[in-house]
Amino acid sequence: MPEKPGDLVQGTLDMLILKTLALQPMHGYGVAVRLEQMSQGVFRPNAGSLFVAFQRLQRAGLIKSEWKATENSRRAKYYALTDQGRKRLTSEKREWGKQVAAIARILEAS
Amino acid sequence: MLFLPAIFGGLRSLFRKKRVEKELDDELRGFLDMAAEDKMKQGMSRKEALRSARLERGSLEVSREVVRSSSWESIIETSWQDLRFAARMLRKSPGFASVAILTLALGIGANTAIFSVVQGVLLAPLPYHEPDRLVVVLLNNLRLKSSTYLSYRDFMDWERAAPPFEKMSAYAWRSFDLSSPGNPEHLEGTEISSSFLSTLGVGMALGREFSADEDRNGGAPVAIISNGLWRDRFGGSATAIGNSIVLDGVETTVVGVLHPGFRFGTDYPDVYIPIGQRKLVDANDRIAHDVACVARLKPGVSLSQADAQMNAIQENIDRLNPDTEQGLGIKILPAKEPLVGDVRGTLLLLLGAVGVVLLIACANVANLLLARSAARAREFSIRAALGAGRGRIVRQLITESVLLSVLGGVLGLAAAKWGLSVALATLAADLPRGDNIHLNASVLFFALGISIVVGILFGLAPALRSSKTDLQPSLKEGGRGSTGRHHRTQSALVVVQIALTLVLLAGAGLLFRTIQHLWKADLGFESQHVLTFQVGLSPSAVKTGADVRAAYQQLLDRIRQIPGIQGAEITTEVPMTHQMNAIPFWVDSRRPASVAEAPRTLGFITGPDFLQVMHIPLIRGRFINQQDTASSPLVAVIDTELARTYFPDKDPLGRTITFPQVGDYRIIGVVGHVQHWQVGFSSPFTQNQSYVSIYQIQDRWMTTIDTWTWVVLRTPLETSMVLPEIRKAVHAAGSDQTVYHAQTMPEIVSESMSPQRFPLIVLGSFATLALLLASIGIYAVISYSVTQRVHEIGIRLALGAEKRDVFRMVVGQGLTLAFTGLSIGITAALILTRLLLSFSSLLYGVGASDPATLASVSAVLIGVAIVACYLPARRAMRVDPIVALRYE
């Protein structure tokens, strides 16, 4: 286990955000809650790293954003995947699967 | 990948900063509010929920900073802040800023100046159409292992043999006496083939090139003139085309005018005439190699391919003309190479030297920055305590140093412009393509680049040093910082400066000693009181060989009558003027199979008084005299060099020496060898010398001899006093006769030392500059250390130390640095000067590790160091112990 719960492997936050947004467009807090739920409380990203990641992904053209009203009728910026983002998610998932399998093989080798 | 959105996103936040920031704030606030709402749903009070959300997710302010600083545009933004702050800091300490900027301006200026010389001479392309395809084609004498020009016959043979060039052309030096329109004047000119200008790809300002019809024997007399001559003689009027000028007595029609500044080679000829019209005796001569060939490679054909094809062509010519051409091959060079000559090594050496000057300047500024950063230690500590990271402080300091160096660079550029104009006014003649040296775009780019690099170079060490400042002690100590460490770095920098300065001084010193030795070298003649000049004989008076002899006899008689003239004679060769009348010869009628394989000798065609005028010693036999005339047997005199080489243990007197096309001569005397090439250096050209009488030369050579004949005369009088008298005497013999190329022999000797003189002057000024900078460096360090040690000195004085001891202590500290620098510098100089010796032949009469030179430059450095320590030492002596101790 990582020393502090919630420390992400470098670069994986981007992939997880893409995965979260693949279901539907979401605002920042929604993404945070979703990540927490899906990881059963292991990942609790703080606002700083989350929004740095949004900025990075948006400038790379992988996500787009739009101000919209929330269900509680406040205004929030909603992020959605672009086609490019969808492609990237697929390729990252494949790569991740390969790496995890490889690491598992190494760790299990006696 | 996908740079554009990243860049646009960045630009958007830069230019619409307020709006973007507000958007981010809104988003973050919404995020925290939603987090708080969730917590309130679990039963927390609003205040508690907000606090808890901030703790868990990070506060608005911190998150905002994290997001903002993660993007590239924030770097630009903070850089702009840094720059404004740096400018404020410099304004606040104008003394420091001006010294630093001035030092850098000197360093960068000197570098920019030398770079623009290297750029103009070595790097810039030749000013012709596609100059990379231009080549010079030479004959390669396989036996003598030297390359020479060719004969006009060779050129015609090549043209007929379909050479592998797009275009090929011939040109040959020739001078003229212009007698109309305007005053008679001697002009430099060139014979060119009709293809010459189109080979170079150069257009005409006015008129046309020569036609093929004009470029042959019997063609109409036509000329192309330089832009300068056109303005001078025709007032720049278009009616010049079709008008005539009188060249060597021949009415010649002007058909074209060249663009201003056009030339090919090192000087600016004023008149061009078709080479095909040369006299048949010259046009058919296969032995004299006086024609140069420039050609343009076909696109896609390499130099070596052309070389191979031309060698095949020449082989065939060799076979057809075995008695003159056997043993001749071809050598093709890029056209730039012969034009630039052998200054490449010298210029690169100077570029290295000026780089060292820049390093010294950098060390100086780094020292100033270190001294200043010690004073600013408190500022850095406070900034660090307030949360500035080390990288941030380093960036701030580098911004300051780059600002300094760029300001220095701007000032340096102005200095370079001024320095170049001064230097070129005195030195341009020593450099090929000297008029091609400008401050152009690539020089500006170089200056800017070097400024930024230098700013980082000298800023980095102090920045890293200061940013490491330990917070606690420097805040506690009240700003005095960790002085010991700073001081060590400063001392190291000064040691490096002194070492580098010594290397430069040693280089300049060696060149200085070389020039001293060259002046003392035995030239084989006495240059003092000898004056040389040329005379353009009136074309009307010299129709036959007998006329020319008579004209010279008459001229000499008149000159010898001028009071104060101790002797006068004519000669075709003046030592050290780079004239090369190298003629083939053989002894005892043993003719080699091909003339090309015969050895060469410098042929002096002269009169009987030559030895007496030049003070050349007669070793054996006799010199030519009045009795050797056209009707008496041919006689020649050889020098000791030829005697030693070809008559090693036999008596040369009475033996026969043969000059092809001229005749068999009986050797009647041996004279001392004369330094004909550069003083003191072995030359690739022939060293053998021989003398024949101008009164025994056949008529057919005599009518063309005057363009290469000189008058030498010996007089103790000043040139300015004699020359008007000489002009009078020459005009009395013919009013259209001109006197030109007047120069004293010492001037000629001095000019022949330009390969040493040019680097000496430049290196000498660099060494002086380095010495100045190094002395400022020593002064700054010692002076700083005295300021830091006022307290200590006060205690010493209070405890009874003598003022003398304090003085000695301070000067001793400076000298320790100086001696450390010296020992490193001498080691480096010993290695570097050896390198200098190996790649260029600059030194004469002095070894690369000449102890006298090293000792004297070391003494100079020590002297300067003592002077630089004197002021701070005196200040230390005057420290009042009471005041110093109260200071705490």
Q: Mention every residue, 6+ apart, whose C-beta is less than 8 A from residue B802.
A: none
CA separation, residue B226 to residues B210, B236, B245, B738 (Å): 14, 11, 13, 20
Binding-site residues on chain B for chain A (CB distance < 8 A): 1-2, 5-6, 9-10, 23-24, 26-28, 30-35, 37-38, 56-58, 60, 62-63, 65-67, 70-71
Q: Report chain A residues whose CB lies below 8 A from the CB of B1.
A: 60
Residue B76: inside a domain? no
Please check whether residues B601 and B726 belong to one and the same domain. Answer: yes
Q: Report chain A residues whose CB lies below 8 A from the CB of B30.
A: 27-29, 74-77
Decide if A74 touches B, using CB distance below 8 A.
yes
Cα–Cα dist B327/B596, whole Å? 6
Please check whether residues B367 and B509 belong to one and the same domain. Answer: yes
Cα–Cα dist B646/B635, whole Å? 17
Cβ contact, residue pair B67, A51, below 8 Å? yes
Residue B197: inside a domain? yes
Cα–Cα dist B639/B691, whole Å? 8
Q: Helices (H) and strands (E) in chain A — how many of each?
A: 4, 3
Please check whether residues B376 and B507 belong to one and the same domain. Answer: yes
Decide if A68 touches B, using CB distance below 8 A.
no
**Which residues of chain B carry a pLDDT beneath 50?**
1, 478-482
Q: Report chain B residues whose CB lies below 8 A from the CB of A50.
A: 31
In the listed set B53, B70, B87, which residue is the last one of a domain according to the structure? B70
Q: Which two tokens stand for residue B414?
A: 């102005």
Q: Report chain B residues whose CB lies below 8 A from the CB of A60.
A: 1-2, 5-6
Nearest chain B Cα to A69, which residue? Answer: B30
User: Which residue in B401, B405, B403, B408 sits closest to B370, CA to CA?
Assistant: B401
Q: In the prediction, which pLDDT does A3 show?
A: 38
Confidence of residue A8 (pLDDT cuts 50, 70, 90): low
- Residue pLDDT, tens place only, A56-76: 888 888 999 888 888 777 888
Q: Does A12-108 carry CATH code 1.10.3720.10? A: no
Q: In the prediction, which pLDDT does B841 show?
A: 67
CA separation, residue B791 to residues B478, B778, B871 (Å): 15, 21, 18
Cα–Cα dist A17/A32, whole Å? 9
Share in percent of chain A as helix, strand, coil (round to 5)? 55, 15, 30
**Residue of A29, A55, A60 lying closest to B31 (CB–CB):** A29
CB atoms within 10 A of CB B868: 24
Please check whether residues B587 and B512 belong to one and the same domain. Answer: no
Q: Report chain A residues whose CB lies below 8 A from the CB of B71.
A: 55, 59
Decide if A37 touches B, using CB distance below 8 A.
no
B824, B777 in Cβ contact below 8 A? no
Cα–Cα dist B244/B16, whole Å? 74
* Burial (0-12, 13-18, 19+ Cβ within 10 Å), B47: exposed
Q: In the prediction, which pLDDT does B475 show?
A: 58
What does chain B come to in residues?
Answer: 888
Q: How far is A110 from chain B (nearest CA, A)?
A: 41
Cα–Cα dist B297/B134, whole Å? 6
Helix (H, G, I), strand (E, B) or coil at B639: strand
- ipTM entry: 0.86
Please check whether residues B775 and B723 belong to one and the same domain. Answer: no
Cα–Cα dist B367/B459, whole Å? 10
CA separation, residue B880 to residues A42, B782, B791, B813, B873 (Å): 71, 19, 10, 21, 14
Helix (H, G, I), strand (E, B) or coil at B124: coil
DSSP symbol at B150: B
Residue B373: inside a domain? yes
Q: Report chain B residues whose CB lies below 8 A from the CB of A58.
A: 5, 9
Distance of alpha carbon B343 from the chain centroid:
6
User: Which residue in B705, B713, B591 sits closest to B659, CA to CA?
Assistant: B591
Q: B284-312 in b/e burial notation, b at 16+ Cβ within 10 A?
A: ebbbbbbbbbbbbbeeeeeeeebbebbbe
User: Which residue in A93, A91, A84 sits closest to B4, CA to CA?
Assistant: A84
Q: How far is B393 from chain A (nearest CA, A)?
A: 24
Residue B782: inside a domain? yes
Please check whether residues B169 and B252 belong to one and the same domain. Answer: yes
User: Which residue in B430, B747, B754, B752 sits closest to B576, CA to CA?
Assistant: B752
Angle among Cα B245, B250, B252 to the nearest 5 degrees reads 40
Please check whether residues B329 and B347 belong to one and the same domain. Answer: no
Please check whether residues B759 and B662 belong to one and the same domain. Answer: no
Q: Mention every residue, 6+ apart, whose C-beta is less than 8 A from residue B141.
A: B147, B148, B327, B328, B329, B596
Residue B170: inside a domain? yes
SS3 sequence, B10-70? Answer: HHHHHHCHHHHHHHHHHHHHHHHHHHHHHHHHCCCCHHHHHHHHHHHHCCHHHHHHHHHHC
Counted domains in chain B: 4
Residue B191: inside a domain? yes
Please check whether residues B665 and B731 belong to one and the same domain. Answer: yes
B212, B192 in Cβ contact below 8 A? no
Please check whether residues B60 and B135 belong to one and the same domain. Answer: no
Cα–Cα dist B378/B386, whole Å? 12
CA separation, residue B329 to residues B135, B283, B317 (Å): 16, 21, 10
Helix (H, G, I), strand (E, B) or coil at B295: strand
Cα–Cα dist B6/B514, whole Å? 63
Q: B390-423 in b/e burial notation, b at 16+ Cβ within 10 A?
A: eeebbbbbbbbbbbbbbbbbbbbbebbbebbeeb
Please check whether residues B369 and B501 belong to one and the same domain. Answer: yes
Q: How far is A87 from chain B (nearest CA, A)?
A: 14
In the listed set B708, B736, B764, which residue is the last one of a domain according to the structure? B736
B198, B167 in Cβ contact below 8 A? yes
By residue range, what is the domain housing residue B304? 131-334
Query: Residue type for A32, please?
Result: A
Q: In the prediction, which pLDDT does B654 show?
A: 93
- Residue pLDDT, tens place only, B640-655: 999 999 999 889 999 9
- Residue pLDDT, tens place only, B338-397: 777 667 778 888 888 888 888 888 888 888 888 777 777 777 777 777 766 777 788 888
Q: In the prediction, which pLDDT does A1 show?
A: 33
Q: In the prediction, which pLDDT does B481 show?
A: 43
Q: How far is B66 from chain A (nearest CA, A)?
A: 6
User: Which residue in B348, B882, B58, B287 sits closest to A45, CA to CA?
Assistant: B58
β-pair partners for B690:
B603, B638
Please check whether residues B348 and B279 belong to one and the same domain. Answer: no
Cα–Cα dist B778/B144, whole Å? 57
CA separation, residue A82 to residues B276, B771, B804 (Å): 79, 66, 83
pTM above 0.80, yes or no: no
